[in-house]
């Protein structure tokens, strides 16, 4: 019988007690979901890091554990992605996912604002996440200014 997505249910009984657990099996890879362990970094602190985890999920949001696909990370704004080296799983900013997941690190720079990190995998919908890079009292350098005034031209 061919694999089909569905629900797996395990039931255990012991001394009149019953315990059960249900898990959804995954469908085909559909999109990337990015998550981070830190929503804010400290500008100018080279030890201020966020780890971004990319998950390859199906249309229902279930991680596809058999997906071993290349994921390319890019960033815009304050912060820099740290090149990764992992033998057999890609290097730099493109990594091959393991069990449907890959992880990249972002380090704060001296600038302030919001860093946007994107994950791309051919054939899948992109994933995107934002991380604030801030210093108390310092303005957001990435904020768009609607009005530009020039004095004494």
Question: In the chain, what is the straight-line distance between the N-terminal and C-terminal CA atoms, in Å?
Answer: 77
Give the integer Cα–Cα distance in Å for 153 and 135. 33
Q: What is the pLDDT of residues 82-117, one digit of tens each?
A: 988 766 666 678 999 999 999 999 999 999 999 999
**Closest by alpha carbon to 46, among 116, 126, 133?**
133
Q: What is the mean pLDDT of residues 130-148?
A: 75
Hey, where are the domains in the chain? 28-134
The yes-or-no verdict on residue 49 having pLDDT over 70 is: yes
Q: Which of 120, 97, 100, 128 is nearest to 29 (CA)?
A: 100
- To the question of domain 28-134 being in CATH 2.30.40.10, the answer is no
More confident residue, 122 or 145: 122
53-64 per-position pLDDT tens digit: 999 999 999 999
């Amino acid at each position: 019988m061919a694999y089909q997505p569905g629900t797996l249910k395990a039931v255990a009984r012991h001394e009149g007690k019953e315990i059960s657990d249900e898990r959804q099996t995954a469908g085909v890879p559909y999109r990337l979901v990015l998550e981070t362990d830190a929503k804010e970094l400290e500008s100018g602190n080279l030890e201020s890091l966020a780890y971004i985890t990319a998950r390859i999920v199906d249309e229902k949001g279930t991680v596809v554990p058999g997906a071993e696909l290349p994921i390319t990370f890019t960033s815009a704004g304050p912060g820099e992605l740290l090149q990764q080296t992992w033998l057999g799983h890609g290097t730099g900013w493109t990594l091959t996912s393991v069990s449907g997941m890959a992880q990249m690190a972002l380090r704060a720079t001296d600038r302030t604002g919001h860093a946007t990190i994107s994950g791309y995998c051919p054939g899948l919908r992109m994933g995107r996440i934002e991380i604030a890079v801030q210093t108390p009292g310092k303005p957001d350098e990435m904020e768009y200014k609607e009005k530009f005034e020039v004095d004494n031209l």
